[in-house]
């Protein structure tokens, strides 16, 4: 560990942005991807007529690298992020970056920025942000003929600084995140723009997130802003199936772990009134793994669903959270081959 690494106060890191040493870029031109370019600048210069700026041809991903007790660096299921980014490309007509190239970029970035990978004890991690934008100069609405793929990293703090605690979430029936046959299943910035207004309103009222219902009937649970939803009842892990939610890699992993732990797993439409029956519920995603839900207030119907009566997370949520974290940090056997280890990074 070098001197500069010790200067960062890992314990006080939030989920912000700290410039690291290098990022990598690659351009799609004339129908093919070019060579990697390594940059030490965190600026990009793009044409003002780029399609990403006008018509939202933009996709992104989010994954994390963890340093284990054994000093080894691990990344959780990066192939899944590569595949999901390819699916997003299909969804908004951008070129697909092959999985090998995606993994190459992760590999390069970790080596180039290894002094920013937080130590095990801090509970912090290195967030990896892949991004793709349309660069073609045009004002007509059609897919671009040029793209930039870019990947950067930034260290982020442990999500639960004051402990793994449930928080209240809100249903706001006057807002939708994504249309049933729209872009909800793709990881595009536009979905986030669509959810900012309701999200900020919910935050201002003391809620940690909005639970969006299906936009058509307002009967079924979709997801919690930037995270999927799950409920626990009768030893069963229940998570929504819908055409307007983003397939979370954390959720997919939790479904497997739930099964490993002897729970039944159901992926099906989840009626909003089922909230009444859940013994536990949570939001899941890369940022927090699991954010337990304390209660859900349906603001328009003036109805509250209390999930955690004592303000504590339920035992199954806690067990799932701890198991997944332990796999990510190398403290529990990775029986599903989820973790990619970088043995040559010290």
Ligand X SMILES: *Cc1c(COP(=O)(O)O)cnc(C)c1O
Write out the residues near ligand X by the rule CB under 6 A: 62, 187, 223, 226-228, 246, 248-251, 285-286
User: How far, CA to CA in Å, does 111 sit from each of 22, 38, 104, 116, 238?
Assistant: 10, 12, 11, 10, 39
Report the nearest approach of ligand X to the CB of residue 293 (Å).
Answer: 15
Based on CB atoms, which residue is closest to ligand X, 128 or 246? 246
The nearest distance, CB 231 to ligand X, in angstroms, is 16
Contact 295, 308 (CB under 8 A): yes
Q: Smallest gap, in angstroms, from Cβ of residue 247 to ligand X?
A: 8
CB of 216 to ligand X, least distance (A): 18
Q: What is the DSSP string of 150-215?
A: EEEEEEE--S-TT-S--EEEEE-TT--SS-TTTTTTS-BHHHHHHHHHHHHHHHHTT-SEE-PBPT
Task: Count other Cβ atoms within 10 Å, centred on residue 41.
Answer: 9
- Give the C-alpha separation, 68 to 46, whole Å: 38
Question: Closest distance between ligand X and the C-beta of residue 223, in Å?
Answer: 5
Which of 114, 208 has the CB closer to ligand X?
A: 208
Closer of 155 and 226 to ligand X (Cβ):
226
Residue 259 dihedral angles phi and psi, to the nearest 5°: -60, -45
d(CA 68, CA 252): 23
CA distances from 85 to 71, 82, 103, 214, 332 (A): 29, 5, 12, 24, 28
**Least Å from the CB of residue 145 to ligand X:** 27
């Amino acid at each position: 560990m070098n001197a500069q690494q010790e200067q960062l106060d890992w314990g006080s890191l939030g989920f912000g942005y700290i410039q690291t040493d290098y990022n990598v870029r690659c351009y799609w031109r004339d129908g093919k991807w070019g060579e990697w370019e390594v940059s030490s600048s965190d600026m990009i210069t793009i044409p003002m007529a780029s399609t990403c700026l006008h018509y939202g041809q933009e996709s992104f991903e989010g994954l994390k690298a963890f340093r284990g007790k054994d000093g080894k660096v691990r990344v959780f299921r990066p192939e899944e992020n590569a595949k999901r980014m390819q699916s997003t490309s299909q969804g908004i007509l951008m070129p697909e970056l092959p999985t090998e190239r995606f993994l190459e970029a992760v590999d390069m970035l970790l080596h180039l920025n290894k002094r920013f990978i937080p130590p095990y004890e801090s509970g912090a991690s290195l967030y990896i942000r892949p991004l793709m934008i349309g660069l073609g100069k045009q004002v007509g609405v059609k897919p671009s003929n040029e793209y930039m793929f870019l990947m950067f990293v930034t260290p982020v703090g442990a999500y639960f600084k004051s402990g793994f605690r449930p928080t209240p979430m809100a249903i706001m029936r006057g807002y939708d995140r994504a249309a049933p046959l729209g872009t909800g299943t793709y990881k595009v910035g536009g979905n986030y723009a669509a959810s900012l207004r309701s999200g900020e309103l919910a935050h201002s009222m003391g809620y940690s997130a909005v639970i969006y219902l299906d936009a058509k009937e307002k009967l079924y649970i979709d997801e919690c802003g930037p995270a999927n939803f799950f409920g626990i009842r009768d030893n069963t892990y229940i998570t929504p199936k819908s055409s307007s939610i983003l397939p979370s890699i954390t959720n997919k992993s939790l479904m497997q772990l739930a099964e490993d732990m002897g729970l039944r797993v159901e992926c099906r439409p989840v009626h909003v009134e089922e909230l009444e029956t859940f013994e536990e519920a949570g939001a899941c995603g890369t940022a927090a793994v699991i954010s337990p839900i304390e209660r859900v207030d349906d603001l328009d119907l003036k109805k509250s669903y209390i999930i955690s009566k004592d303000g504590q997370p339920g035992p199954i949520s806690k067990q799932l959270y701890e198991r997944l974290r332990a796999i990510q940090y190398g403290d529990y056997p990775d029986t599903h081959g989820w973790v990619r280890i970088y043995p040559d990074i010290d």
